[in-house]
Chains A and B, each alone.
Chain A
């Protein structure tokens, strides 16, 4: 199993003329669990967003499952977990309704949901330990539970590749454990994972390769680096201020 799942070749991304990624190349092959590490503002989130076509490349190219991004249509093979749940407009939505969105890539726009969809949603909710909250409005959940809802949404589509943007940032320990368990099951079934993080926590044993992004360049690609200095202390509380790493638009919600 060495077929490439994500290939970024000489990718360049800039926001408003400011370079965020300069000449970055990355290949993820089937069955790998790759962590993209780096400080806030290093461009690590931009790297995976560019790989999914959410951010346009100024130069370079992206291939997903061997198909150039422009021609790629098999989105059901990918499960994307964004950094956080969009606030929405205040219209309530239940956990189940959000997770059910994960079936659309597989089902298409026009077909109404069927039994297979309901079963996949149930299984995804169980996998992240939220089956008992299915009918609750997502807005009433804690940050960690909301994050698990987003992971369940991605899992509900039964993807081959999971792409996660800081899945453990600001998530309580119980949710981190539930999340690590769900990811472990996904990887055991042969899934491929690309995740962005700035600390690995309970995910650490799962990671097969680490890519460190520093100031828009790849500084390291290989074994998971050992935590250094005070980061290595067992009682270290990993707290970072979260700066916005991209400009927020008035209409972007």
Chain B
């Protein structure tokens, strides 16, 4: 525990905890609209921003925020057009993003250790300015996702109904895209662009195995994200591993524990209450 006496470790922990809360709060909407991998795609695009920032000697995080936001808006516009070819457009964007990033990092005088820090996170690289950026943007995303929950839920649950309700569907969709880009880039230091998507999705997947409603899933996913981020940073610091990997492995371990425990509980309950007669609905049609 004495590791956390160092200011850089405290910054890493606080940064990770903010992201651990914000990532699942956003991720639940992405999972609900079956865009669970979108964060991964935006992460690939953000890498080009990192490369450009390193090459131009500007703040890589800031350039990555801009590039990832543009990428996320492009992805959303392709999605909204609903063409099957959107699939290929997304693939081009993802691979172009990561190839551009690796290329630009190679052209700059950054080392591969630098690149690794952006890909998988690095505890020692979070500066006080970084922490302010993570804190302000992370809390903004968290508050937005919670405050707009009814509207975002409606849009992600049934987009056509949301349109007939007069909701600003396109604005809300773009808001989600921009929030995804920002979450990915602020999580870059702590978890890394290639693994942040897991922190958006895995806690939601874990929570929804045992929850019954959207609100309870969101709350449980945020608690799980907070736990995985905090414990992951601690493991990374003690075992000297990449924080991104530790956080994500802990999140997946929670998923497995909940899956097994949930299955066991259902079996036990079925044995305890064997008399529960099923009440089938009347047949809706007669098949002849």
Contact = CB atoms under 8 A, between A and B. Distances in A.
Interface stretch (B162-170, B185-193, B245-253): B162-170
Interface in B1-34: 28, 31-34
Given A85-B158, A249-B82, A92 B208 contact: yes
Interface residues of B, number: 49
Contacts of A93: 153, 157, 213-214
B83 A249 contact: yes
A101 interface: yes
Contacts of B151: 104, 109
Nearest to B283: A172
Contacts of B214: 91-94, 97
A82 interface: yes
Chain A interface SS verdict (over half):
loop
B281 A88 contact: no
B161 A252 contact: no
A132 interface: no
Interface stretch (A1-9, A26-34, A71-79, A225-233): A71-79
Contact of B157 (A88, A143, A172, A250): A88
Interface in B254-288: 281-288
Interface in A104-121: 104-105, 107, 109-110, 112-113
A97 B164 contact: no
A142 interface: yes
Given A90-B31, A101-B157, A136 B212 contact: yes
**What size tier do the contact residues of chain A reach?**
35 or more
A97 B212 CA distance: 11
A89 B31 contact: yes
B165 A92 contact: no
A146 to B, nearest CB: 11
Contacts of A98: 157
Contact of B158 (A52, A82, A91, A109): A82
B213 A92 contact: yes
Contacts of B34: 89, 253
B32 A89 contact: yes
A122 B126 CA distance: 49
Interface centre among B34, B150, B165, B288 (most CB of A within 10 A): B165
Contacts of A171: 284
B150 A54 contact: no
A55 B202 CA distance: 36
Nearest to B157: A88
A21 to B, nearest CB: 18
B109 interface: no
Contacts of B282: 172-174
B213 A253 contact: no
B165 A157 contact: yes
Contacts of A186: none
Contacts of B217: 91-92
Interface in B136-173: 147-148, 150-151, 153-154, 156-168, 172
Interface string A161-178: 001000000111110000
Given A94-B213, A172-B284, A174-B282, A109 B168 contact: yes
A135 interface: yes
Contacts of B212: 92, 94, 135-137
Given A75-B164, A91-B31, A137-B213, A101 B158 contact: yes
Contact of A73 (B36, B160, B166, B283): B166
Nearest to A101: B154
Contacts of A189: none
B282 to A, nearest CB: 5
Given A89-B34, A250-B87, A237 B285 contact: yes
12 contacts: A54-B164, A89-B32, A89-B36, A97-B215, A98-B157, A101-B157, A103-B150, A137-B212, A172-B282, A173-B282, A174-B281, A250-B87
Given A82-B158, A143-B284, 10 more contacts: A54-B164, A74-B166, A75-B164, A92-B212, A93-B153, A94-B212, A101-B153, A137-B212, A251-B82, A253-B34
